[in-house]
Structure 1
Amino acid sequence: MPQTPSFCAVDFGTSNSAIAIPDADGSMRLVELEPGHATMPTAVFYFVEGRHDADGPPRAFGRAAIKAYIDGNDGRLMRSMKSILGSGLIEQTTDVGGGRGVKYFDILAGYLKRLRNAALASGAAQPLDKIVLGRPVFFVDREPERDAAAQASLEAAARAVGFHEVHFQFEPIAAAFDYERQVERESLVLVADIGGGTSDFSIVRVGPERMQRVDRREDILANHGVHIAGTDFDRHVELASILREFGYRSFGPERAGSPPREVPSAVYFDLATWHLINTVYSPMRVAELRQMKSFYGDPLHHQRLMTVVEERLGHELAGRAEAAKIAVSGGGDTVIDLSLIEPGLEVALSERTAVEALDRDIERIVQAGRETVAQAGLKPEQIDALYFTGGSTGLRLLADRIAREFPAATQVRGDRFASVATGLGLHAARLFRA
């Protein structure tokens, strides 16, 4: 009986991740990372209580990490880890509670090790030391040195957990490979991969006669992207709705001889950015915010802000902003319950408010799609299909705006969370079996 090949493909996403391995019948399959789920939130929770083991401080991953945070366990939740790649933070040490410090690099590597161990537990062949990793078109916009450093850091993390042969493939191209399985004739597809951290576009020539080729460079007509996506949408929604109730864009008291000044906004931008929320909780920062009470024209705003900071509720607010964005993404309005801060406190969010808050980002994403077509030397009407993938393509107003640019293209929606991982698996099978 032939031995099952030992390799895998990993979609390491800003919001969710997945891993594909060879199956006994020669096909590729996604590993069930959590009961009933082939994707797992890219999240780690470090517990204050507990002992180190061989892999480091006590922690939980994925949905268990988010549950540990919601249940009120003492510790620190880490999300959007992909956004650290290409930044100076990657080699810095961060406090995870209980007097423990962990390098951001080790946090990332630990998550990859968790994926690898899940694949081995699911029946992946040993030694599982070959990998195809997905990557966005740009980790960092318009800064090639930082972009190269981001890929190098991700490769180093993969090697640190046991992968000795590491290859990369662009995530939207992987999505095109997934789409290619359903096409009956050669065509041009524009893949719109809008995830949590980046919005990437690729134009790929696909077809039944091309799909078995290992080298597809001549079929990739253009790649382009911007570092704007779902987490940016969440931040804008939180600033436009929730954080207004905590003093964002409010003014201080009137003072003789001078007009009221706007309250300093830095704390609000940090509270609305996942990987910066914990910086607001440092004792020095908390003390500084306490001293700012006189800056507020409405003392209630400052009181609510201090409740968030002192009770470490920043991630909870960010999560409610994300849920509100999803609630209005298909049209309609929602109400955000903030009673955890103050009894009876709630904020209404309409689709119109969300559209206004996201309009500039959406236009930049749509412009990236236009530029991708121009880079390929094509006109919009020459695009045969528009393939949507990535969690943020569930935002109706975004998908509609992109589709309007390509009226002749057939709209196809892939699995928002798994099509990239599936395509990476197809590419890995062709690459390593060849």
Structure 2
Amino acid sequence: MQHTTPAHALGIDFGTSNSTAGWHRPGVPSLLALEGERITLPSVVFFNAEERRPVYGRLALQEYLEGYEGRLMRSLKSLLGSKLIKHDTSVLGTAMPFKDLLGLFIGELKKRAESSAGRAFEQVVLGRPVFFVDDDPAADQEAQDTLEAVARKVGFKDVSFQYEPLAAAFDYESGINGEELVLIVDIGGGTSDFSLVRLAPERHFDNDRQQDILATGGVHIGGTDFDKQLNVQGVMPLFGYGSRMKSQALMPTSYHLNLATWHTINAVYAQKSQLALANMRYDIEDTLGIDRLFRLIEQRAGHWLAMEVEASKIELTEVTHRNIDLTRIEPNLSVDLTRELFEASINGLLERVRGGVTELLAQAGVAAGQVDTVFFTGGSSSIPALRQSVAALLPQARHVEGDNFGSIGSGLAIEARRRYG
């Protein structure tokens, strides 16, 4: 049954890289403007030390890059299911629990959605990955419970969840003409999620769709992992990654891995970390790389470099190479990142994605030839090697590209209408 009045509830896609909020209204696109006219809000908080205030989204990135003093926090969703969520972090000179940091961002999402919609929302369907944590049901449940508690604390009274790939499936279903067996491949910033769903336009507004969901699965791999591999393999060798100690052992990799991972970059700036590096310098054969690493740390340029690597990953979906100018670290220093290097660096991750899809088909008892459509969504689903990798498993299925940043949010708005009217 087609609805003729606006929904009561909100659908929120809190993403690792970008977030959206959807409100289902007849004949109107669901997604609400969250930053100017834009429907996405990058999942970023910058604590501006000079003005002592939090800034969100694109403005947060802009202020950080303009050189304001402060603390930049990205990939906030990755905190869910991690040990960090039970700890504090230093923000503007005081200790802030990571849970409160999540609350700041989710609260800001709610406030902006309400401002855009011109009304308040007390009910929400939140998207969630199929697994916040792989192979640990208790930790996975704890991650969902944490997110629910955060949502309630910022003012939502009724909170429920839907798997993100299923939300994308319901968005896709709103535009098809006949029944299809569809594999949803959702490659987000933090996870790769899969669902095998039977879709049909006549069942679009049915309240119970359980019998149409053949299987759900996923692996804890996403865009930030692809960034990390490109950073470690392509950039970090310039900063001492792979350097030999005088004992012929390799230099410890933890510093480079932390610099290539959004939510651990600040750990490298800590005094304890810098002292350990300074002591290590005496034992390194060729100090060129570690000296560059010191300059990068001195400039606190880790987030800037991570953004450059992320931009390279995005551009390498269209072009075969991209150059990063590193003259701020050393005169005439640069690095040329190629698609070939990128694909080689993520091959192990793609192997796990393929394994996840294969396992899903086996779980559903469905042969590859029975799948009509592969629906790609999520910000990292446009990586050519990833698409080719999945396509090779399902050569007979047609491939459809969703809105990489909007399909899940639109589907969650549909689900919010179903559940709360």
TM-score by structure 2 length? 0.96
4+ aligned runs moved over 4 Å, structure 1 = 2-5, 25-28
The answer to whether the 8 Å contact 2:322/2:337 transfers is: yes
Residues 338-353 of structure 1: matches in 2 within 5 Å? 338-353=326-341
CA apart distance, 1:329: 2.2
CA apart distance, 1:363: 0.9
Structure 1 position 70 matched with structure 2 position 58: no
Q: What letter matches 1:251 in structure 2?
A: R
CA apart distance, 1:87: 2.2
The answer to whether the 8 Å contact 1:386/1:411 transfers is: yes
After superposition, the C-alpha distances for 1:65-117 in whole angstroms (9 at most, x for unaligned) are: 111111111111111111111222213110123x1221110110111111111
The answer to whether the 8 Å contact 1:263/1:295 transfers is: no
Match of 2:99 in 1: 105
Identity over the aligned pairs, expressed in percent? 42
Structure 1 position 132 matched with structure 2 position 125: yes
SS state of the match for residue 291, structure 1?
helix
The answer to whether the 8 Å contact 1:85/1:139 transfers is: yes
Alpha-carbon RMSD across the aligned residues, in angstroms, is 1.5
Aligned with 1:238 (options 224, 231, 242): 231
Aligned with 1:141 (options 106, 131, 134): 134
The answer to whether the 8 Å contact 2:317/2:382 transfers is: yes
Match of 2:283 in 1: 295
Match of 1:91 in 2: 86
SS state of the match for residue 6, structure 1?
coil
The answer to whether the 8 Å contact 1:6/1:124 transfers is: no
SS state of the match for residue 349, structure 2?
helix
Gaps of 5+ in 2: none
Q: What letter matches 1:264 in structure 2?
A: P
CA apart distance, 1:124: 4.1
The answer to whether the 8 Å contact 2:32/2:117 transfers is: no
After superposition, the C-alpha distances for 1:168-226 in whole angstroms (9 at most, x for unaligned) are: 00000000001111211111000000010000000011001211111111111000100
After superposition, the C-alpha distances for 1:253-277 in whole angstroms (9 at most, x for unaligned) are: 4xxxxx5221111111111111011
CA apart distance, 1:385: 0.4
Structure 1 position 181 matched with structure 2 position 174: yes
Match of 2:9 in 1: 7
Match of 2:206 in 1: 213
Residues 8-407 of structure 1: matches in 2 within 5 Å? 8-23=10-25, 25=26, 29-51=30-52, 58-97=53-92, 99-126=93-120, 128-253=121-246, 260-407=248-395
Q: What letter matches 1:113 in structure 2?
A: G
Q: What letter matches 1:379 in structure 2?
A: A
Change (3 A) 1:160 1:28: farther
After superposition, the C-alpha distances for 1:321-350 in whole angstroms (9 at most, x for unaligned) are: 111112222351222211121111111112
- Alpha-carbon distance in structure 2 between the residues aligned to 1:43 and 1:162: 21
- Alpha-carbon distance in structure 1 between the residues aligned to 2:385 and 2:309: 17
Q: What letter matches 2:197 in structure 1?
A: V
CA apart distance, 1:60: 0.3
After superposition, the C-alpha distances for 1:265-300 in whole angstroms (9 at most, x for unaligned) are: 111111111101111111121122122212322222
SS state of the match for residue 134, structure 1?
strand
SS state of the match for residue 78, structure 2?
helix
Q: What letter matches 1:6 in structure 2?
A: H
Q: What letter matches 2:375 in structure 1?
A: Y
Q: What letter matches 2:262 in structure 1?
A: W
Gaps of 5+ in 1: 52-57, 254-258
The answer to whether the 8 Å contact 1:19/1:115 transfers is: yes
The answer to whether the 8 Å contact 2:14/2:126 transfers is: yes
The answer to whether the 8 Å contact 1:286/1:310 transfers is: no
SS state of the match for residue 295, structure 1?
coil
Q: What letter matches 1:31 in structure 2?
A: L
* Structure with bigger RCO (C-alpha 8 Å, 6+ apart): 2
- Alpha-carbon distance in structure 2 between the residues aligned to 1:172 and 1:123: 25
- Alpha-carbon distance in structure 1 between the residues aligned to 2:125 and 2:19: 13
The answer to whether the 8 Å contact 2:8/2:420 transfers is: no
Change (3 A) 1:223 1:4: closer
Q: What letter matches 1:328 in structure 2?
A: L
- Alpha-carbon distance in structure 2 between the residues aligned to 1:50 and 1:327: 34
TM-score by structure 1 length? 0.93
CA apart distance, 1:320: 1.2
- Alpha-carbon distance in structure 2 between the residues aligned to 1:3 and 1:263: 63
SS state of the match for residue 232, structure 1?
helix
